[in-house]
């Protein structure tokens, strides 16, 4: 039943999000997500749906990790900049 549903709709691997996470978020986790995406699609087209689902779950986890770490880094830089401007003379404030 599961393989019949997979053959109708394919497998979700989020390749666009994987590539965007490489450039916009965390490159290392994004690259691993992209690699797992390619493995999942390759295994799906070979007919191995169980392995494809496993790789797709891994790709999803790496993409989520890339987005979360990217957002954390961005928020951390904003907080660091705000603290630096409070303690020192901020160039934009006179």
Reported as a single tens digit per residue, the pLDDT across 72-82 is 999 998 888 88
pTM confidence score: 0.77
Reported as a single tens digit per residue, the pLDDT across 10-31 is 788 888 888 888 898 889 999 9
Q: Where are the alpha helices (DSSP H) in 14-90?
A: 15-24, 27-46, 49-87
Spatial CB neighbours of 93, under 8 Å, sequence gap ≥ 6: 85
Spatial CB neighbours of 38, under 8 Å, sequence gap ≥ 6: 15
């Amino acid at each position: 039943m599961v393989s019949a549903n997979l053959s109708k709709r394919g497998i979700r691997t989020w390749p666009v999000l994987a590539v965007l996470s490489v450039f916009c978020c965390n490159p290392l986790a994004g690259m691993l997500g992209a690699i797992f995406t390619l493995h999942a699609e390759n295994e799906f087209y070979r007919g191995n749906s169980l392995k494809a689902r496993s790789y797709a779950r891994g790709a999803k986890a790496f993409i989520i990790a890339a987005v979360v770490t990217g957002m954390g880094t961005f928020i951390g830089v904003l907080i660091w900049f705000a603290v630096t401007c409070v303690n020192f003379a901020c160039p934009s404030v006179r």
